[in-house]
Amino acid sequence: MGDPLQHRDLLTPLWRVVVAFRLVAWVLAVAGWFRERDDYPGVVAPLAVLAAMAAWTGVVTAAYSRAAGRRTRTALLDLGVTVLLLAATVATQPAGAFGEGAPIVTSIWVAGPALAMALVRGRGGGLVGALVVWAAVTFMRGYVGDREVFNLTLLVLVAVLLGHAATITQQAELVLRAAAAAQAAAAERERLGRAVHDGVLQVLAAVRRRAESADGLADLARLAAEQEVALRGLLTTGPEVAVGTADLGAVLRLLATPDVEVAGPAGPVELPAGTTAELAAAVREALANTAEHAPGARSWVSLEPADDEVVVVVRDDGPGIPEGRLARAVTEGHHGVRSSICGRLADLGGTAVLHTGPGQGTEWELTIPRGTGR
């Protein structure tokens, strides 16, 4: 199971807003110059500044569109270049004209770096960026009036609120990553627990049963060697990735032995390969429990596919499970039924229902919806 947030930056939508703002602000600056072009003494200087603004807008658009470009140094460089372009607007107006209210060709485009600073450095970064931009514009004007105070307040509010949103988003991302990591770790522990139970623990149980006599020691040595190899492989590899579909009926027929009878439809019962493997493992666990706790009992496995679900019934003619035995097994640390059978079916979106009682044998009804896929 992979981390769903591993390759996702939750701030990406906010960065797209900053990029869009910069592009729209440049278009507005061009429109503003065209509308007020009679207030400029010449055409070359404003067009040159607008062209430089367009070039830099392209640079920061490319930078902020990639995770590698969303860094403090990039935002600081953006702030520095923007201030330089703002300073270059002195060539667009005669001396003293700005102090008399002449338009500044950069318009609101200069607010872009403050927004970028807010995303990379939070509330403090947004505040610093807004104050630097406002100070540069005020220096150009040479005075502070009601309009300048209003613009400062608006820019600071927007930058600080955006920085606050970025900070909250980053904190939420950390929480989500921690939760995803915990979920992945729990799933991996469950997988390892099932694999160890299905192999190593069953062999150890066999060793315990057969250790009272000298019979079967060679067989026990073989089983122990096999499980040592299996356990080493389990600890050095990740979970298997099943691809495509598999015939559940064919897989279950491989479980047939002189003591186990398997019945099912003649045609294939195609399910996702991962689902088939997990369901077959649950059936093997049920049969293993019968072999361990009811030696000599016969077992029957029946496959009953329907349009919307698949049902596998595993029953035996053993003595059955006494009331309360499963609960005691869990408290004693034996989790075969809970993990290898019920846990597997729950992961598949299905159910595992047990019917048993003293002298009634044991019957598992394993049901999964047809839409289940892994």
* Residue 68: burial class (beta carbons within 10 Å; 0-12, 13-18, 19+): exposed
> Rounded to the nearest 10 degrees, how much is the dihedral formed by the CA atoms of 85, 89, 95, 98?
-100
Q: Report the interhelical angle of 44-64 vs 12-35 (nearest 10°).
A: 170
Closest CA to 174 of 5, 15, 2, 1: 5
Closest CA to 82 of 125, 136, 43, 158: 136
Domain 244-374 falls in which CATH fold? Heat Shock Protein 90 (3.30.565)
**How far apart, in whole angstroms, are the C-alpha atoms of residue 129 and residue 14?**
17
Predicted confidence at residue 301, as pLDDT, reads 93
Predicted confidence at residue 146, as pLDDT, reads 80
205-232 as b/e: b if 16+ CB within 10 A: ebeeeeeeeeeeeeebeebeeebeebbe
Residue owning tokens 């034996």: 334
Predicted confidence at residue 78, as pLDDT, reads 94
Any idea where the domains of the chain sit in the sequence? Answer: 12-178, 244-374
Task: Tell me, yes or no, if the pTM score tops 0.95.
Answer: no
pLDDT in tens, the chain (374 residues): 444 444 466 788 889 999 999 999 999 999 999 998 888 888 999 999 999 999 999 999 999 988 888 889 999 999 999 999 999 999 998 888 888 888 899 989 999 999 999 999 988 999 999 999 999 988 888 888 788 788 888 888 998 999 888 888 877 777 777 777 677 766 666 666 565 555 555 555 555 555 545 555 656 666 665 555 555 555 555 455 455 788 999 899 988 888 899 998 988 999 988 899 889 989 988 898 888 888 889 999 999 998 889 999 999 998 887 776 666 765 655 555 666 788 888 888 899 998 888 888 899 999 999 865 55
Closest CA to 125 of 153, 162, 151: 162
The 3-state DSSP class for residue 66 equals coil
